[in-house]
Amino acid sequence: MTVVDAPLATGEAVTSGDDLPFDPGTEVEVRNRFDGRWARGFEIIAVEAPGYRVRRLSDGRELPSTFGLHDVRLRERKRGTWWY
């Protein structure tokens, strides 16, 4: 997929889909727009000019808005509390 000079929400410009860090099918966390915290359980379904389209893994529903590059990150792996 190629996107040419598409402005992003942060004012950056993307010249091709290869410049974006995540491909469709990648499990991610998204930034909650109300409190700024990261929410788990989402998957990239498409890459568009304004950002990413994502869906919830729990019910497969697509979220109604797109997320910019800085509002999506790889799922954070937490270390267990057990140690040996």
CATH number at residue 31: 2.30.30
Distance, in Å, from the CA atom of 38 to the CA atom of 17, rounded to the nearest integer, reads 24
Instruction: Give all strands of the β-sheet with 38-48 in edge-to-edge order.
Output: 51-56, 38-48, 27-31, 72-74
Which carries the bigger pLDDT value, residue 62 or residue 79?
Answer: 62
Closest CA to 37 of 62, 73, 82, 7: 73
Q: How confident is the model at residue 49 (pLDDT cuts 50, 70, 90)?
A: confident
Does residue 66 register a pLDDT over 50? yes
Q: Is residue 83 part of a domain?
A: no
Q: How many CA atoms lie less than 13 Å away from 73 in the CB half-sphere?
A: 12
Q: Is residue 79 part of a domain?
A: no
Q: Is residue 24 part of a domain?
A: yes
Domain span at 39: 6-74
Give the SS3 label for residue 17: helix
pLDDT of residue 84: 56
Q: Sign of the C-alpha dihedral, residues 8, 46, 25, 60?
A: positive
